[in-house]
Amino acid sequence: MNRERGSKTGVWDRRTFLERTSGAIGGLLTLPAVSLPPFADPSLPRHWAWVHGGRERTGEEWRERFRVARRAGIGGVLVAGGENPLLADAAGTTGLAFHRWIWTLNRGGDRWVVEHHPEWFSVSRRGDSSLTDPPYVGYYQWLCPTRPEVREYLAGAFAAVAADPLVAGVHLDYVRHPDVILPVGLWEKYGLVQETELPEYDFCYCEVCRRTFQKRTGIDPLGLPDPPADERWRRFRWEGVTRVVEAIATAVHALGKPVTAAVFPTPTIARRLVRQAWEDWPLDGVMPMLYHRFYEEEIEWIGRSAREGVQALSGRRPLQAGLYVPDLDPSGLEEAVRTARSAGAAGVALFELDALRPAHWERLGSALSGAWGD
């Protein structure tokens, strides 16, 4: 998940994006209002916060932070670095659901895979491995989702986390391909002009992907005149990521634990920029990152984007609107919460806990209770 200002968010400026997708989301401006669906699973909280758990705090310090969140209406925390038992204990004693937040296909930090299976890493259209030649930044080292052994490995890894009795559920992040397009505002920083999908940022063309696609269609994707434009090749990559999610969800659900995921803002944006068809995934909840300033948009865009996601999900699972707190002052946070609710979101997920200041907390509690009546 790309959260920091100026980081690689895989987004597009609105004008260019609308042009590139032939107005695919332009119709959202006139969509009818969406009725709020019933919350699908009463055992899952409605409102969440992402938490970086690696910070040096005592158990009491974590409990106090979690008490503040609970009083405001937050029901669950998505914790990176959550192997620290202090965090699970603090969440449990304050009444918060404790879910582990884990990177999925971006696995450069997984030393076992790096050392034993470097061939698992995805390959660009130019022929470079993301392990040895990562795009954009050094940590962009991605596994190929087409490989059955990758799916099996990830399913086992997430099941091992879910088997911990202190963990109430798991939360997937970076469950996609690398961003094929950067925001226009970052082109100069990286010395790029990405008016098309450039080969060095277009993944995955490893031998397994090529062979599997060729067996299915009779075509080597590298032999296509314009690989990014081929619908069969686009769909193949969407489906590869979906198969990874299915494998993980099956393994975790077998342990009686729920699975959620952080995803790109809308089905249209996600499919186009990171090969992510999240509306098809067998999850217990989705949390699209509706970070309006990353897209050079105003708060009302949060509502349009949430509405598209809610309609795509058709009530099969709840959507919690991901809100980027650093770009929201207290009144803006309240407005964003109400905007998400009016668009049909089942709740919100806030990035991230430490970004919330006392003035945010003062407005958040009334905003959540006022919007959802909890």
Q: What is the pLDDT of residue 6?
A: 32
**Residue 187's pLDDT band (boundaries 50, 70, 90)?**
low
| Average pLDDT along the chain | 88
Structure tokens at 335: 């407005």
pLDDT tens digits, 330-348:
999 999 999 999 999 999 9
Q: DSSP letter string over 113-174?
A: HHHH-GGGB-BBTTS-BTTTS-SSSTT--BB-TT-HHHHHHHHHHHHHHHTSTT--EEEEES
Percent residues over pLDDT 90 in the chain: 78
pLDDT reading at 211 higher than 80: yes
pLDDT of residue 56: 87
Q: Where are the domains of the chain?
A: 14-372
User: What is the model's pLDDT at position 9?
Assistant: 31
Q: Whole-prediction pTM value?
A: 0.89
Structure tokens of 328?
A: 């929201």
Q: Is the pLDDT of residue 90 over 50?
A: yes
The yes-or-no verdict on residue 171 having pLDDT over 70 is yes
**Range with the poorest average pLDDT among 19-28, 255-264, 364-373:** 19-28
Q: If you search the block for the tokens 């920083």, which residue do you land on?
A: 189
Region 14-372: CATH code: 3.20.20.80
pLDDT greater than 90 at residue 148? yes
- For residue 4, give the DSSP letter: S
pLDDT of res. 189: 67
Q: What is the DSSP code (8-state) at residue 218?
A: S
